[in-house]
Structure 1
Amino acid sequence: MMQQEQETSPVVRHSYLRYNSPLVQVSLVGMVCFCCPGMFNALNGLGGGGQLDHTTADNANTTLYACFAVFGVLGGGAYNLLGPRPTLLLGALTYPLYTASFLYYNHRRSQVFPVAAGGILGTGAGFLWAAQGATVVSYPPPNRRGSYISLFWCLLNLGGLGGLLPFFFNYHREIGAASVNDSTYIAFMVVMLLGASLAMLVLPPTRIVRDDDTRATEFTYSSVATEGAEMLRLFANWRMLLVLPAAWASNFIHTYQLNNVNGLLFTLRTRGLNNVFYGGAQMLGSAGIGYFLDVGFASRRKRGLVGVLIVALLGTAIWGGGLANQLRYIDGKWEGPIDFKDGRRYAGPFLLYFSYGLLDATFQSLIYWIIGALANDTQILSRYVGFFKGVQSAGAAVAWQVDAHKTPLMFQLIVNWALMCVSYPLLALLVFLAVNDDGNLVSSVEHGKDNDCMLSEQICFR
């Protein structure tokens, strides 16, 4: 009797640094976002877009995030219609225009251009972030998503180095300067244009080959009718409804932190320096939570639940510190701007602002990881991310107007803290109900419906 040997095909291992590898492509998307949203964050992190008076930036950002709220949701559909490269490029080109509007404002003192540019950027940002989200959560293998999300966040938050631009260009300017100088805005624009050019190098998911020779999900260009119907269905999707409070809170908190902590307490040059460390804190937070979410426990669901607990405890401690600091200037009047040379006087508020950056990246990385665990299909994930970015931006639009109307700072802090607290149990519930311990999800678009099922258990959560 002859024994037949059962042949198994060897697993082909590819180089991590291939042009069509998830690592290179996610890194490219990260570099686009470093140059565009990263520099935008550095500019906005100065408080008032680099202007001493926050009114123009508040109004521009309100328009920006109102448009972003709409086009964030529509961005997922745009991605499915156009693909990643055109969607990223169209979005990236709107960032230097926004920066140019503040250069214009330095000379003309008219809000028309900044507010209009804010609306255009809101449209473009919706496209860019939908493409970013779909790429970052669908290109990597399921068991490495946390690490790739962390990689993206680290690259994005290298944009904190953009804080060195206003620090150097304005180092010798007087403490009460009305705005950063023209050179600062021009330098930001040059970096943003470089980022837009990098968008041309991003590949569609059909050309991505993972390191174990598996491929990212198939990408089929959709239709306007299909995308319209699918986007409407998102508002009745229970998964997205559980994400909604976290999405709203995740950008709502920024206005208070940027304008009323960094923008109010520190000198102009110190604000730029603070943003470098704020970006560094975001890298640390994202790397830490991303590593844990990939390797913390054998059970993916348990990792998600413990991740929510970690973020909840961290958030409670940091907002508690924020409350202690806010009690020092309840009326919104600080005793004089703090400079980085002020020693102990600088240390406490700086540590608080650094901690806000740590919490921000930890919280948003957790949300991205949870969304990425809901499906494997690029089209479904692009819609989920678009919904997240749309709601996130609606929250930001409201927050900028809350600040523009001179709402008491203590009230702003309490609302920020409360929104975060509401989101934690809902995220935990979503993880418990919808995140499976097996990473092998089957996700397909069938008759306009997304099916996210366990291969082993054939269970669909609806």
Structure 2
Amino acid sequence: MAEARKGLVTTNTQSPAHSVEPREVEIPTGWKYKSLKLGPITIPWYASPESQLILVSFVCFLCPGMFNALNGLGGAGQLSKNAYASDASNSALYATFAVVGFFAGTVTNALGIRIALSFGGLGYCVYVGSYLCYNHTHNLGYIVFAGLLLGCCAGILWSAQGAIMMSYPPEKLKGRFISWFWIIFNLGAVIGSLVELGLNIHTSDNDTVSDGTYIGFLVLTFLGACLSWTLVDAKHVVRRDGSRIILMKHPTWKTEILGLWETLWSDPYIILLFPMFFASNWFYTYQFNDVNLAQFNTRTRALNSTLYWLAQMFGALIFGLALDFPYIRRTTRAKAAWVVMFVFTFAIWGGGYVFQMKYTREDTALENHFEYDWKSNGYVGPMFLYIFYGFYDAAWQTFMGAISNNSRKLANFAGFYKGIQSAGAAIIWRLDGLNSPPPYMNMFASCWVLLAGSLVIALPVMILKIKDTVPVEEDLKFTDETIEDVIGHEVIYYSPEREKV
């Protein structure tokens, strides 16, 4: 048997009671722990946090990524100006997600990461298949059922993804891990949109996308569900220094609901973040249905969708690296990020206001209404507006993901975030699907006001509550349970009532 490799591990909690001197630990042998060198590039071993994060990112690449690509077309690719089926399905999806989110942690704990991700992926297969069925049968009931099912499955998939994202990244690299995930995840939507573009490139009118588009997405989402089985158990994941990760278990549904109340009591400032949570998925309906679907033909919608998700990749990369910039204090970075987001909100959505002034919902209902093709005069301006919408979305989501660097608080905040975000999405999809939906300008105004207003309301949190770092004993504090931090063969116990033993 080969000798195990050695590595140094240091635990620095900024507290003498919880400190461990640097010491040599053994890194396991076997194929899971062998790095691969490709010229100057070293690929981390399979059971490393980086490799596992990439695998999870590709699961989301193939499942939620394809979902985003499909919905990015507006109406999920259905007949022009007829987004009723998509609105009904997505409203059911997010309404279910808002409720199931509270129970998803319990299910994820019981099933484990791999099964939870796989089960979640299957929901995306059914969702895509329902649109293929709708193309031929117009079975509205089935498409609404698929939305309800996906609301359950997506809640579980994102719960499993959240457990990994909270547990695997070290604090100093959290923004970078988030940006990696968003880049790969949004690459799925980019590739999916390119598939749509390739299959519909000669469709210059505005019609339902081809069956081949839905079949291709059905295959890809199924592959995503299968890919989740390639993950290793968290207990086998080893960092470069030989230390092992602490998998943050989601609270049960009972303790999560109680935890929400306790969080409100102990951290009432979270209420100031509720508008940001509510706004975080609100604008998708307007951008996909009321801009892309309303103003562009099929192949141009596919091109716009490709550029939108590509801009998200760059936005996630830029903001992720900026939020991890080591030479500026975390508190300073947070305030600077708030200023940048505020400027972006007025610059980008101000451009959106100028574009929205050019058409109304009544105009798009006319048979002779002008629809942009990529060959049309004047297309370049709206194209760049849509690109900036995508960049803004990635910046917003990455900014929110780095509001706190306390994993326990993030776990508690997640319950509020999932529920409020999904409730907002359910409302806006339903509003757009009414028999007499609000005017486009009203939909636009609701997005702009929510985004700008929520930033102002959250400003006290940026100024007063964000810390430069969080000590491990605070980050890992539970009310009545003990956490085991496994480092090599030593187990360190953390508890509010006792010292390290």
Q: TM-score, normalised by structure 2?
A: 0.82
1:80 shift after superposition:
3.6
What is the CA-CA distance between 1:164 and the residue it aligns to?
1.7
| SS at structure 2 position matched to 1:345 | coil
Higher helix share: 1
Return the alpha-carbon distance in structure 2 between the equivalents of residues 230 and 80 of structure 1.
Answer: 17
Deviations 1:371-407 (A, max 9, x none): 4x1x235xx6444334312221111100101111211
Aligned length: 440
* Structure 1 residue runs without a partner (length 5+): 1-6, 452-457
Name the counterpart of 1:125: 154
Task: Give the Cα–Cα distance (whole angstroms) in 1 for the partners of residues 232 and 463 of structure 2.
Answer: 34
- Residue type of the alignment partner of 1:151: W
**TM-score, structure 1 length as denominator?**
0.88
Q: 1:78 and 2:92 equivalent?
A: no
Determine which of 406, 424, 427 is the counterpart of 2:455. 424
Contact 2:93 2:426 in 1 (8 A): yes
> 1:22: Cα distance to partner?
1.6
SS in 2 for 1:329: coil
2:256–2:415 CA contact under 8 A, matched in 1: no
Q: How far apart in 2 are the matches of 1:22 and 1:140?
A: 7
Q: CA deviation at 1:26?
A: 1.1
- Residue 438 of structure 1 aligns with which residue? 469
Q: Give 1:4's aligned residue.
A: none
Secondary structure of 1:116's aligned partner = helix
**Does structure 1 residue 367 correspond to structure 2 residue 400?**
yes
- Look up the match of 2:296: 266
Q: Tell me how large the CA RMSD over aligned residues is.
A: 2.5
Q: Secondary structure at the match of 2:363?
A: coil
Letter in 2 for 1:17: P
After superposition, the Cα gap between the structure-2 partners of 1:444 and 1:8, relative to the gap in structure 1 and judged at 3 Å, is closer
SS in structure 2 opposite 1:209?
Answer: coil
Per the TM alignment, residue 27 of structure 1 is displaced from its structure 2 partner at its CA by 0.9
Q: 1:272-300: CA deviations, max 9, x gaps?
A: 11111111100111111110100164311
Higher relative contact order (CA 8 A, sep 6+): 1
Which residue does 1:253 correspond to in 2? Answer: 283
Q: In structure 1, what is the equivalent of residue 200 of structure 2?
A: 170
AA aligned to 1:409 is Y
**Worse-matched range after superposition: 189-198 or 362-371:** 362-371
User: How far apart, CA to CA, are the structure 2 residues paired with 1:68 and 1:363?
Assistant: 21
Matched, 1:394 2:423: yes
Return the offset for 1:108: 0.5
Distance 1:92 1:386, change over 3 A: farther
Is contact 2:100-2:152 (8 Å) kept? yes
Distance 2:480 2:270 in 1: 17
The 5 A counterparts of 1:13-412 are: 17-52=44-79, 53-158=82-187, 159-173=189-203, 175-177=205-207, 179-219=208-248, 225-231=254-260, 233-234=262-263, 237-238=267-268, 240-295=270-325, 297-334=327-364, 335-342=369-376, 344-371=377-404, 373=405, 375-377=406-408, 381-405=410-434, 406-412=437-443
Aligned in 2, Cα 1:64/1:438: closer, same or farther, shift over 3 Å?
same
**Is the alpha carbon distance of 1:44 and 1:348 closer, same or farther for their aligned partners in structure 2, counting shifts above 3 Å?**
same
The structure-2 alpha-carbon separation of the partners of 1:262 and 1:382, relative to structure 1 and needing over 3 Å to count, comes to: same
C-alpha distance in structure 1 between counterparts of 2:114 and 2:166, whole Å: 16
Q: Equivalents in 2 of 1:424, 1:448: separation in Å?
A: 35
**Higher radius of gyration, 1 or 2:** 2
What percentage of aligned pairs have identical amino acids? 38
C-alpha distance 83-419 of structure 1, shift in aligned 2 (>3 A): same
Deviation for aligned residue 1:240: 3.8
Answer yes or no: is the 8 Å Cα contact 1:79–1:382 preserved in 2.
no
Contact 1:77 1:383 in 2 (8 A): no
Q: Any unmatched runs of 5+ in structure 2?
A: 1-20, 28-32, 36-42, 484-495, 497-501
Cα drift, residue 224 of structure 1: 5.5
CA shift, 1:228, in A, is 4.7
